A and B are shown apart, each in its own frame.
Chain A
């Protein structure tokens, strides 16, 4: 059915600035507080109140713009976007319309090893709205203004994406960049980062089709499902001879479908005009340059450095740089240690535990120093890889040091040649038939002897050494 159809996707990301206070008032931005306890007279739009802009939010917007390879506009203007809704006491949202703080930029995404550049149209600062609860009372709506006035960065992409995979990769990448820059915590569950997705379809070579906007998607999974549903819906409409209406739609999590948001139909006439309460924002180039100097190493650069410095695969580098905390944890572990062991202990063993416990790396039960000392014990031959797994499991729930766990469990590897030889001799005496068969050419039996020694030593014989010694004994 999707023959010759092309999907065109553009995305608006709303990213909450991680400031302590709101964009135009001093109220706290703390998540999860009691309703309406973080609302100032400005947020409640009491008559005569004036907005005063938060300097930190401006810096964060500049920083984010620089991280998205975008131009920073030396002059930008705040406008009023007028609409009437119960979660917006002012009757308008302070936003930026014609002159945003950040202009065009780019983000690189990677789909199965193929790179693609997604254009950024702009980034502007605006106020978030309050929260409405519709399920508290059958006839009434409850309003909480704690979120009202918190600073958002709206990041608008160009319509450069052609599939749900690209759309997800784009949002993921922007989120990663903002988290590296520490300008937004990227917590999608708490709504700190949400996406409005604009979708249209067209036949190859045709002009752009009519687009629909799906509002407020707050997980990667929902972004993918909503796009798939919407693309099918639009193609079916057109193939049946109908037209796509330009409208705002809502994604319903319980049905995986999108539906029209009638309430927004009249709201398109926003009557933007410059907010007379706010002067234009003039940015001194020195200030921008100062902020530029504070930019951390960003994921793309870090990934290339990991590939070059640690000689790891692109895949591993990707996994280890997707999150700033993960990359820092890995570097702590890998410095002066075997890269191979570090990658496998962080990316396989530790990630498996974090997934199982549903924890982020910042909350890891094993810190980088502890994991490092475990790897040290493998590298210096004290314990085998297999024993290390047992120690690792214990470390997840125990406060004990690596050394104590190894001693308590008696996992110290036997690396003493004479001692291992004693065990080998015993095994050879106990199995004269197999010794004869080996001597007659059945060299595959080497594994049998090694296994037997491991059995009597409870797996504690140094495997490399054991292998060597058994061979020497039998071949003599």
Chain B
């Protein structure tokens, strides 16, 4: 599968990445090669096989409903660029 400029741009937009032309070209090549590599899987006939969402032969591990707050507000916000009154502060997002 070819990854053209439009699909690369769309992907960048969805991930909120701002890329210049040089970066876009380079990503386009990388993505095409990655997707082509994975596309090889399409050659296998899976008609009679149930879709597998996970290859581990194990059941989902369940947790009991016990509440505990281990992380303090101070520790949570230790690495953030901006915070105030205990909130994360980010550039204005208008609805």
Residue positions of A touching B, CB distance < 8 A: 19-21, 26-30, 34-41, 44, 52-58, 77, 82-86, 91, 132-134, 136-145, 250, 261, 263, 266, 269, 271, 274, 276, 278-282
Contacts and interface: CB of A to CB of B under 8 A. Distances in A.
Interface in B10-47: 10, 13-16
Interface in B44-93: 53-54, 56, 58-73, 76-77, 82, 84-93
Interface of B: 10, 13-16, 53-54, 56, 58-73, 76-77, 82, 84-95
Contacts of A279: 54, 56, 58-61
Contacts of A77: 53
Contacts of B85: 35, 136, 142
Contacts of B16: 84
A140 B69 contact: no
A280 B65 contact: no
Contacts of A276: 54
A35 B69 CA distance: 13
B75 to A, nearest CB: 9
Contacts of A139: 91-92
A140 B65 contact: no
A41 B61 contact: no
Contact of B71 (A39, A52, A86, A91): A39
Contacts of B60: 53, 278-282
Contacts of B10: 269
10 contacts: A20-B67, A28-B68, A40-B70, A52-B63, A53-B62, A54-B64, A86-B93, A136-B84, A276-B54, A279-B56
A127 B92 CA distance: 24
Nearest to A141: B93
Contacts of A281: 60
Contacts of B71: 39-41, 44
A374 to B, nearest CB: 41
Contact of B89 (A38, A82, A137, A278): A137
A137 B70 CA distance: 30
A261 B16 CA distance: 18
A134 B92 contact: yes
Nearest to A21: B67
A34 B71 CA distance: 13
A140 B14 contact: no
Contact of B65 (A21, A40, A41): A21
B69 A266 contact: no
Contact of B86 (A35, A44, A140): A35
Contacts of A278: 54, 60
A28 B53 contact: no
A55 B62 contact: yes
Nearest to B84: A142
Given A36-B76, A278-B60, A280-B60, A86 B90 contact: yes
A56 B65 contact: yes
B58 A269 contact: no
B63 A26 contact: yes
A29 B64 CA distance: 14
A50 to B, nearest CB: 10
A144 B62 CA distance: 27
A240 B66 CA distance: 57
A134 B10 CA distance: 27
Given A53-B62, A84-B14, A250 B69 contact: no
A57 B16 CA distance: 33
A253 B53 CA distance: 43
B92 A141 contact: yes
Contacts of A37: 69, 72-73, 86
B7 to A, nearest CB: 11
B12 to A, nearest CB: 11
